[in-house]
Amino acid sequence: MALPANFGGVVPPICTPFTDSGEIDTASLERLLRYLIDGGVTGIFALGTTSETGALTDAQRTQVIETTVATVAGEVPVIVGALASATNVVIEYAQQAQTLGVDAIVALSPYYHKFSEGEIANHFRAVKAAIDIPLIAYNIPQMIGTELSSANVVTLAKEGVIAGVKDSSGNEASFRASVLNTRGIQGFSVFTGGEITVDYSMFAGAAGIVPGLGNVDPAGYRRLYDAAITGDWDAARNEQERLVKLFAILSQATPGRVGISSGVIGGYKTALREMGVIDSNAMAVPFQPLNVEEATKIRAILVEVGLV
Amino acid sequence: MALPANFGGVVPPICTPFTDSGEIDTASLERLLRYLIDGGVTGIFALGTTSETGALTDAQRTQVIETTVATVAGEVPVIVGALASATNVVIEYAQQAQTLGVDAIVALSPYYHKFSEGEIANHFRAVKAAIDIPLIAYNIPQMIGTELSSANVVTLAKEGVIAGVKDSSGNEASFRASVLNTRGIQGFSVFTGGEITVDYSMFAGAAGIVPGLGNVDPAGYRRLYDAAITGDWDAARNEQERLVKLFAILSQATPGRVGISSGVIGGYKTALREMGVIDSNAMAVPFQPLNVEEATKIRAILVEVGLV
Amino acid sequence: MALPANFGGVVPPICTPFTDSGEIDTASLERLLRYLIDGGVTGIFALGTTSETGALTDAQRTQVIETTVATVAGEVPVIVGALASATNVVIEYAQQAQTLGVDAIVALSPYYHKFSEGEIANHFRAVKAAIDIPLIAYNIPQMIGTELSSANVVTLAKEGVIAGVKDSSGNEASFRASVLNTRGIQGFSVFTGGEITVDYSMFAGAAGIVPGLGNVDPAGYRRLYDAAITGDWDAARNEQERLVKLFAILSQATPGRVGISSGVIGGYKTALREMGVIDSNAMAVPFQPLNVEEATKIRAILVEVGLV
Amino acid sequence: MALPANFGGVVPPICTPFTDSGEIDTASLERLLRYLIDGGVTGIFALGTTSETGALTDAQRTQVIETTVATVAGEVPVIVGALASATNVVIEYAQQAQTLGVDAIVALSPYYHKFSEGEIANHFRAVKAAIDIPLIAYNIPQMIGTELSSANVVTLAKEGVIAGVKDSSGNEASFRASVLNTRGIQGFSVFTGGEITVDYSMFAGAAGIVPGLGNVDPAGYRRLYDAAITGDWDAARNEQERLVKLFAILSQATPGRVGISSGVIGGYKTALREMGVIDSNAMAVPFQPLNVEEATKIRAILVEVGLV
């Protein structure tokens, strides 16, 4: 399916379930996708940061795309990350994903090396020139050390190179500038990658939201989205404040025992396991899974917000 | 060939020459390797940061390894970077390089995601368990946002997981701690990745040096190394101060026109082209090559230090 | 006057007008205060970041406080920064300001040296113990390199040490946590120090706003505040988007010619001069004033948003 | 006394001893000064970072200067920090110190606000114009968030504005550039503020060293200095490696209990107390003193290196 005009709504960046022996758990992945669609999501984003993408082999990436495309089966658009450090590899990933039938590609600014604004723009132009489906830019400087500037977003939007941006920077001023300065560009969508300021972003004019926490509570984010687009800001705020409580599952790992990323992604996976959506909270090496003590704390939070 | 006991000396991280049409220029790569060996290097490091590694496709990586192994033909050890963001991909790269006949593997800490000290150590343990040749750790936090702590270096050295570390952090206190605390571990080598504090590092007890600028002046770094190991510190300092002047080729790009990485790697490549070693200063997309004006400034520096 | 219960509203951090010869321009300061009160502000914050406080001598600080207290004359509360790097000096400044008749003190976390959470909390406790008027904490990590954590804000609020916080961090997640976790504490107020996300902050539950840009357009921020507290979110957003346009006056300095702070504070002062509120855009050494070319651009923005 | 031509050698930044009740302990300060002079230092630096300067009141600063000048009594030069965030306050401090008879002033780049290279240079020019004794620039970006660039150091040295620089940045490349590019400027001295790379800095061409750890072992640093200037690099390295062991006293505070600065300065003070030089390890609020458990670890290190 093509992306709908003004693609928006709730598009969670999905986890990649693993078996305890380190294989992709496709049965769990299928259940997760069903859980999300039943929860009201308007799109699926596979192979984003939440997917442990940097830790997946090429074969695993293919497996995730194939399972996702087959399971979603056109009910909602599937967008897929072609996350790599430079242009030619992004193009390889993007073309492969296109061949496998995805609806749009998500790409980062180039990273590892340090590039200028012009080089970053050329990167997106080269990726777009190599594919026939929409390209969505992804701004997450805390992971790659490079900011995708709002100025570059606007330039690339006006050129038609990118059909949207997912902004996970937490820089609300820059987010707002992207919204204001792309207003009126047909078919261009600004998404927030935040979890706990989604009401702000919708209020500012976001087209949609890409919350990692949406893996755990897709219906909650859908309620928040629906409240926002109908202008019921009190309801949006109340739902957001409830989700702020749920957000605490991301910080239940014992400090120092595992890194921040294991705490966050492990928090999602542990919650999904506790809720019976996926079988294991295993993650790819070198992520360290959360333990029983940490899972107990996460379960308590799920109880508090009514998810188990 | 196996790594010599107490592997050390001058091991430049080689550039990857490209043609103007974006292909690997194997003829130039062969000339570069010959230039380096004739200059007195004691090893070759392919597919490091200087190689534009993050911008190379799998096919290009293979091509570089094959050309390098064939050209060097055992005259000096060839070590090769398996630079990727997480364990399974590093293992794939490392096993492939081993199959192609390299003498040791260089690996980074995991990046993109944020890991704990223990997860980082487990990463190196898993990589080492998957290969039969020595593993060298690579510390370059300015590129990946993660420091490989001296404590982790010492732990992994004592376990025999790593046979050496290349420290490009510029953190001389941490470098020194790695030297002092691995002294006496048989077969463990600490390398500096610096260009302009090599005399310090040798003075502190480094086994060897991995200077990107060694692409341009291998003989200069060999003189510096030889002076240091014979305790002729005045000669070492004088050679280092001469190389500080040459180091200015890294900062001749017009600010803002290209990013820092294009300025640095483009500086090496432009110098090598001016010296007749390689044919073009082209780089992989999205690197932007240096222009005529910038090349003129670089040539003037080469003249000043006596390289052209 | 004492602070009103649940102190809130629009409390701009005022500029310190200077003559071209480097003296405090008290006549301009009086006109600025009158302009702000006529614009509807609910309080005055003197000797904050916008005042060039770090560049003022003790005598100049006294002069600003005396002029402000006398001019405002109880029409609205006057809060005053006791901004210094450590406890004893903050206490000296705070006691002096109390003696001069101000209504509350604003203090930063200790800086220059690096302190623990507990040491930071003790700092605020010691300052509060030394004064008889309310203490407001000020979070601006981009200036002092230290974050005042939301956890510390909540602890100090519950203890009654601080009566409010001005959060200029731009960290909306932390801001929201401070709002949510101090809700229900009698007499505690969370203020945002932002200029272009004020609607978000009011939506999240801020009691008030402390916008530097409020020096230039107090009435605009008052309209935004009034719209927000009456739940007219469309009006709040529209006013905010207008103020985003005005915010461009902060970035009209030629890059490199002057530093960011001269661009920001010089932007306010130049606008106020162009509007006839103050006589000169001079700043304390080492701030470099904006020039004619830059002032022309600022005037054009003022015209665009209807302020001249 | 005037500064000697080519001022150099060992110039420790002295601690400020406090009584347990929070007063300056002048008797301990006198003993510390005597200990340092007897240990062979070539100058005294009062009111630097190690002095807890940001936590001292004006009255305390005066007391430290007076005691220091009187005690040192011309045996070695006394240089004094006029550390404040902007020009006019630095000038006030500097003029006061000059009046009290110090031999040179040390000043930082302006901080808190963010300034351009040109504004930073103007700051030093204005300070120098206001005093009649030499001015030494102080580069410690980890404390103030602003780098004093080597380019600015060289500019100000050539103009005769500054007579030296104390570089505590840990940026060895920048340090080296300052040394190389001021070589041949009469009367200009580059000092390192490091503790564990002093041999490097001397090797590169430093005129002297300003080690905080020199409070604890002045004789060790003097031996290192003497070895270096006579070209006995093996002896210099050996002494440095011994001092690296002593450096561990800076990291004996329980993580999280106190901040880094309390760990460092508290480490010096606790060692001096254990050695009988000063009476208490008390520090100014909000510094938190080291406890018995931490002091026991520090004592063990002093034993190991032969200081008690």
DSSP chain A: -PPPTT--EE--B----B-TTSSB-HHHHHHHHHHHHHTT-S-EEESSGGGTGGG--HHHHHHHHHHHHHHHTTSS-EEEE---SSHHHHHHHHHHHHHTT-SEEEEEPP-SS---HHHHHHHHHHHHHT-SS-EEEEE-HHHHS----HHHHHHHHHHTS-SEEEE-S--HHHHHHHHHHHTT-TT-EEEE--SSSHHHHHHHT-SEE--GGGGT-HHHHHHHHHHHHTT-HHHHHHHHHHHHHHGGGGG-SPBTTB-HHHHHHHHHHHHHHHTTSSS-----TT-----HHHHHHHHHHHHHTT--
Query: Of the candidates C55, C85, C256, which has its C-beta nearest D88's C-beta?
Result: C55
**CA of A226 vs chain B CAs: smallest distance (Å):** 32
Considering chain D, what percentage of its residues have pLDDT values greater than 70? 100
B205-245 pLDDT tens trace? 999 999 999 999 999 999 999 999 999 999 999 999 999 99
**Hey, are the CB atoms on A118 and B285 less than 8 Å from each other?**
no
Q: Rounded to whole angstroms, how far apart are CA atoms C215 and C238?
A: 20
Question: What tens-digit pLDDT sequence spans chain C (308 residues)?
Answer: 678 887 999 999 999 999 999 999 999 999 999 999 999 999 999 999 999 999 999 999 999 999 999 999 999 999 999 999 999 999 999 999 999 999 999 999 999 999 999 999 999 999 999 999 999 999 999 999 999 999 999 999 999 999 999 999 998 889 999 999 999 999 999 999 999 999 999 999 999 999 999 999 999 999 999 999 999 999 999 999 999 999 999 999 998 899 999 999 999 999 999 999 999 999 999 999 999 999 999 999 999 999 99
Average pLDDT, stretch B292-300?
98
Structure tokens of C125?
């406790």
Query: What pLDDT sits at residue B173?
Result: 83
**Hey, are the CB atoms on A86 and B145 less than 8 Å from each other?**
no
**CA of A196 vs chain C CAs: smallest distance (Å):** 7
Q: Rounded to whole angstroms, how far apart are CA atoms A241 and A210?
A: 17
Examine residue B286 and say whether the peptide bond preceding it is cis (omega within 30 degrees of 0).
yes
For C155, the 3-state DSSP assignment is helix
Query: What pLDDT sits at residue C95?
Result: 98
Which of B15, B61, B112 to mutate: most A Cβ within 10 Å? B112
- Separation in Å, CA D72 to CA D9, D75, D83: 16, 6, 21
Mean pLDDT in chain A? Answer: 96
Q: Rounded to whole angstroms, how far apart are CA atoms D163 and D176?
A: 17
Q: Is A199 on the interface with C (CB under 8 A)?
A: yes
pTM score above 0.80: yes
Q: Is D184 on the interface with B (CB under 8 A)?
A: no
D212-246 pLDDT tens trace? 999 999 999 999 999 999 999 999 999 999 999 99
Structure tokens of C128?
């509060």
Query: Of the candidates D54, D83, D286, which has its C-beta nearest C122's C-beta?
Result: D286
Q: Which of B248, B189, B246 is nearest to B223 (CA)?
A: B246
The complex scores an ipTM of 0.96
D13-27 pLDDT tens trace? 999 999 999 999 999
Question: D90 contacts in C (CB within 8 Å)?
Answer: none
Question: C199 contacts in A (CB within 8 Å)?
Answer: 203
Q: In chain D, count of helices (H) and strands (E)?
A: 12, 8
Q: Which residue has the tokens 């022309």?
A: C296
Name subunits touching C (3+ CB pairs < 8 A).
A, D
Query: What pLDDT sits at residue C173?
Result: 84
Q: What are phi and psi of B254, to 5 degrees?
A: -65, 125
Q: Rounded to whole angstroms, how far apart are CA atoms D228 and A306?
A: 70
Query: What pLDDT sits at residue D6?
Result: 78
Q: Rounded to whole angstroms, how far apart are CA atoms D147 and A67?
A: 52
Lowest mean pLDDT among A132-136, D158-162, D255-259: D255-259
- Separation in Å, CA C272 to CA A212, B31, B139, C71, C277: 45, 65, 51, 18, 5
Question: D53 contacts in C (CB within 8 Å)?
Answer: 112
pLDDT at A255 > cutoff 90: no
Q: Is D176 on the interface with B (CB under 8 A)?
A: yes
D9-232: CATH topology is TIM Barrel (3.20.20)
Domain boundary assignment for chain B: 9-232
**Hey, are the CB atoms on A285 and B52 less than 8 Å from each other?**
no
Q: Is B172 on the interface with D (CB under 8 A)?
A: yes
Phi-psi region of A183 (alpha: psi -120 to 50; beta: other; left: phi over 0): beta
Q: Rounded to whole angstroms, how far apart are CA atoms C264 and A98?
A: 46
Structure tokens of B298?
């670089």
Q: What are phi and psi of C60, to 5 degrees?
A: -70, -40
Evaluate whether D63 touches D24 at the Cβ level (below 8 Å). Answer: yes
Question: B287 contacts in A (CB within 8 Å)?
Answer: 113, 115, 119
Rg of chain C in Å (alpha carbons): 18
Query: What pLDDT sits at residue B1?
Result: 65
Question: A88 contacts in B (CB within 8 Å)?
Answer: 55-57, 60, 284-285
Hey, what amino acid is at B285? V
Q: Which of residues 247-266 of C touch D (CB under 8 A)?
A: 256-262, 265
Which of A15, A16, A88 to mutate: most B Cβ within 10 Å? A88
Buried-state track A230-266, b at ≥16 Cβ within 10 A, e below 16: eeebebbbebbbbbbebbebbebbeeebbbbbbbbbb
The C-alpha angle with vertex A68 and arms to A64 and A72, in degrees rounded to 5, equals 175
Q: Which residue has the higher pLDDT, A74 or B256?
A: A74
Q: What are phi and psi of A107, to 5 degrees?
A: -135, 145
DSSP string for residues in B109-171: PP-SS---HHHHHHHHHHHHHT-SS-EEEEE-HHHHS----HHHHHHHHHHTS-SEEEE-S--
Residues 6+ apart with CB under 8 A from D262: C113, C115, C116, C119, D253, D283, D287, D288, D289, D290
D163-191 pLDDT tens trace? 999 999 998 889 999 999 999 999 999 99
Considering chain A, what percentage of its residues have pLDDT values greater than 90? 95
